[in-house]
Amino acid sequence: MNENSKCAIWCTPAKENNTDRDGREIISPRAGGVYFIVGSAEAVLDNYGDHDPIPVRLTDWLVEQRRLGVRWPEITTKTIWAK
pLDDT tens digits for range 29-65: 999 999 999 999 999 988 876 667 899 999 999 999 9
What percent of the chain has pLDDT above 90? 73
- 28 close to 9: Cβ distance less than 8 angstroms: yes
For the CA atoms of the chain, what is the radius of gyration? 12
Q: Domain residues for 45?
A: 2-81
The answer to whether residue 19 scores a pLDDT higher than 70 is yes
- Does the model's pTM come out above 0.85? yes
Strands 23-28 and 13-17, how do they pair?
Answer: antiparallel
Q: Which amino acid is at 62?
A: L
Give me the number of domains the chain comprises. Answer: 1
Q: What CA–CA distances, in Å, run from 61 to 44, 51, 64?
A: 17, 18, 5
Q: Cite the beta strand spans of 9-60 per DSSP E.
A: 13-17, 23-28, 33-38
